[in-house]
Amino acid sequence: MEIHVVSAGESLWNIAQMYGVDFQTIVDANQLPNPDQLVIGQALVIPVGGRVYWVEEGETLSSISERFQVPVEEIVSFNNIEYPNNIPTWFRLYIPSDYRQKPAVDVGAYVDLGITGEESPQYVDEVGQYLTYVQIFSYELNADGTLTPIDDQAIINTALANQVVPLMVITNLENGAFDTELVTTVLQSEELQNRLLDEAIAIMDEKGYLGLDFDLEYLGAQNREQYNDLMRKARVRLDERGYFLSSALAPQVEPGMPGVLYEGHDYAAHGEIADFVFLMTYEWGWTGGPPMAVAPLNEVRRVIEYAASVMPNDKIMMGIPLYGYDWTLPFVEGVTRARAIDHQEAIRLAAEHNAIIEYDTVAQSPFFNYVDDEGQEHEVWFEDARSMQAKFDLVKEFGLRGFYYWVLGWEFPQNWLLIDANFTVNKRV
């Protein structure tokens, strides 16, 4: 898979000719709604079976072979080269991407039944081949330690049919927000902790869940040790049934970070107790904040570096957003609310308003500005093939267990192709 960034004056036909790929192949891979209207700065994935390399002056197949660690005979065979000792400058080569074995990773994705509802099983079915886990969001905790039931049997069955592990997600959400008082009531009581685990395991046994994921947020320092104790109890009881245990943790970059969001999450303890942890490495750019990348790579890297210093790398699942935001300018704190959009809508907006997509090389994220029909200026940050590849490279660099997405339901066809080009996805059912 090659990533091509559209330049001024390029057409899809030109790009197809450049890579020696059928026009329709590019259309299908990127699900382009209007192939005749490309956007300057738009990233396209080009299915070429390897990476494209243009021979530079003075290079030979031997030097190229050494550079990419691919045998000369593999390059010759892959490109049907008749005269390997006479390769002209700027000759186009395909470097096989599958010569070396792709790293195997776990891939997860949250599904918010409150948003996608009856369509949720369909989303899992469409991308199930790329998933190890699906985190079904969510069973809401009540103050008496019980759980509010949800209609999840269909999505559990769909997950299992695709060899995807269904994970039961428990949250302390109340009226759409994470509630500190609610979770404190339960965590500070051994009786209520036990009732919570009793009910959760009964549901798992009945419905076919294979793992439990705690997403308890805004706990505060007063619940840090109690949360660790709940995890330890869950570990013992889940081990009896062979179930997975995981937790979702707020993004921390150093020990002792202040704030109710961070203080209740003990990275080292969860890294020791859980099978794996979902690090929420997104929402730097958020609906109530100023325009910026949702998951800037420089910030994500800081979280991964800290996490890797206190827990095993092979327990870390890095979070990746499948969405971006469209801000109306000027941004006014406490007033402006950005609108969440997916990759396909971002490209459509850029094309509709003749915007040029730029790329922030520090955040490793694309963005653009446009003026709507009412004359208001907008700023859009989103994810594209380049930003995803940068995140995948970070997963490889640290040898992480894998990565996961928040949340299924957003359209981003390039992403799934890039998974296949970079990794082998583990199946644990």
Which residues, including other chains, have CB under 8 Å from residue 163's CB and lie 6 or more apart? 128, 427, 429
Name the active-site residue from 2, 140, 199, 217: 217
Please say if 217 is a catalytic residue.
yes
- As a whole number of angstroms, the distance between CA 195 and CA 190 comes to 9
Residue 263 backbone phi and psi in degrees, to 5: -65, -25
Residue type at 10? E
Beta carbons of 52 and 74 less than 8 angstroms apart: no
| 135 strand-pairing partners | 110, 167
Structure tokens at 185: 């009531």
Residue type at 399? G
Return the active site residues. Answer: 217
